Amino acid sequence: MEGAVPRFVKISIIVPVYNAGEGLKRCLDCLLSQTMRDVEIIIVCDCPTDGSDEVAREYAARDNRVVLIENERNLNVSLSRNAGLAVAKGEYVGFSDHDDYCSSEMYGKLYEAAKAADADVAASDMYEEDGTSCRRYAFPAVKDGKVDPAAFAATLVAGSSTPVWNQIFRRSFIAGTSFKDGVSFEDGLFNIEVSLKTPVTVYVQEAFYHHVIHGKNAFGSYAYRDFAHTARYLSAVMEALDVAGCRESYKHELAEGTFRRLYSCILNEYRKKGILAALKLCRMVKSDSGFAGILALYKDNPESGRKYGLAKRIVLGYLCG
């Protein structure tokens, strides 16, 4: 069997697996070929139906650094990640999607940077590819080689969807922070909660991680952006800000993020079900006192809504009217 169990696990890499298809082998090969050998790969099989579980068992039998968890029922990505966190032994923790891939030096470089700065989080740029193009995304809120946690939290609350894949987190620092089930944008919410704890975050100005976009990605699904999932996400953001005692400090970003998410839901409803369904959702949002209170900021400051295009301004005007 390859890969001796490391005496000290530097990084635990958690990989929830559902129906990963051909991408799973490439994903696991990349993780097991990391130049830093002191890693454990925690595969959480979430009741796949395409044979991905057989592939996972094969890799677990081949390499001692692979830890295999097989869920008794389908838990989805958030609870599967939490299952991995519960057994992780690494000093730091990273996350990978089951059909993405990364360079062999990714985790070694992130770990070295984290240790050199005694950082709670290490972050880098990443790539997103769809089979025809590959685009590099820079990590936000970087200044002098570090990420400003307050500025990063502000971008997230305002609606940015920065993922967790291109970061590693000190496991002791994120103890008590978990991924929420039944919400959209679970990565963004996790990042908000971590950022509000003001971590020392070092930035590596390289791109290692490749996120592969295709029809099976959760982000493109109707259910993922429906009102119920989005409302739970927005409620969780407000709760996180309240727990940290800083909602007032982020009120402008909260208003922007709330409108952006709600507008996305309304647009999605229009595209999937038509104008009547979209209007019904508009009325539902307008009658919600919680959302109305947040969006009132636009009513009190009309200038803040003029940056939007015509369609967004019409919807915003209705919701705030």
How far, in Å, CA of 187 to CA of 287, rounded?
29
d(CA 293, CA 278): 21
Q: How far apart are the first and last CA of the chain?
A: 67
Residues 139 and 203 sit within 8 Å (Cβ to Cβ): yes
Q: What is the DSSP string of 209-241?
A: EEEEP-TT-GGGSTGGGSHHHHHHHHHHHHHHH
* pLDDT score, position 219: 40
Residue 216, pLDDT score = 58
DSSP conformational letter for 145? T
Exposed e or buried b per residue across 280-312, where buried means at least 16 C-beta atoms within 10 angstroms of its C-beta: ebbeebeeeeebeebbebbeeeeebbeebeeeb
Q: What is the CATH number of domain 11-218?
A: 3.90.550.10
Looking at residue 244, its pLDDT comes to 96
Q: How far is residue 196's CA from residue 199's CA, in Å, rounded to a whole number?
A: 8
Q: Residue 114: count other Cβ atoms within 10 Å of its Cβ.
A: 26
Token pair belonging to 136? 């590099």
pLDDT, one tens digit per residue, over 132-159 is: 899 999 999 999 889 999 999 999 999 9
What residue segments make up the domains of the chain, in order of their start? 11-218, 221-320
d(CA 254, CA 156): 9
Residue ranges for the chain with pLDDT beneath 50 = 218-222
Confidence (pLDDT) at 309: 93
